[in-house]
Chains A and B, each alone.
Chain A
């Protein structure tokens, strides 16, 4: 069965600090898809990135970067030079490619960036 663990329940940083949000997943599939979403206080889940299991390249998008490591089943998310607007709950999610698979979310990490 697929599972996503986000061990950090809440992280507090001061503006301009770098912060890494951890995501560890479990799956028996060789093909799967990983996602990160941001949920600001307004409640809407905002898509950030999708990564396919066969593509292990790390990705950078502005202040955001993602480190995908199949060897440790991790898909960590780093925000460089954090800003107050980054304050939100961040969810990591997994969907296997086979069987009766649905998108499974972790419990989320609440990030609070203070000025």
Chain B
């Protein structure tokens, strides 16, 4: 079974530019998460989708971050415009059900450096 796929793996941009990350969850997984992991810290949830609907985006900085999952499968996370403090690894995870006990399976992440 293929795991969670993410692209690109690395991205370097200048501040105020825009960037987008893509995630393809494990086949059949209805719940998808985006996390931000700053160096030296654990991942922090940005947004959770159940199919194509948003369940939790309370920690998403909505003035610059946006995410969508139009067909309930792939998802895109966008930052516009980027700030220096957005430098981090962006991780995508998925589960096949939405329950809190469900194990989240993570992709390899996208490492973003904002100069």
Contacts and interface: CB of A to CB of B under 8 A. Distances in A.
B75 interface: no
Q: Give the interface size bracket for B toward A.
A: 20 to 34
Contacts of A93: 42
Q: Interface residues of B: mostly helix, strand, loop or mixed? A: loop
Contacts of B43: 45, 91, 105
- The interface centre, meaning the residue of B41, B42, B104, B106 with most chain A CB atoms within 10 A of its CB, is B42
Interface string A38-51: 00001111110010
Contacts of A50: 101, 103
Contacts of B101: 33, 50, 52, 95, 97
What are the nearest 7 A-B pairs in CB distance? A105-B42, A45-B106, A44-B108, A43-B109, A102-B45, A33-B101, A95-B100
Given A37-B106, A43-B108, 10 more contacts: A35-B103, A44-B109, A45-B93, A45-B106, A97-B101, A100-B58, A102-B45, A103-B45, A106-B42, A107-B42
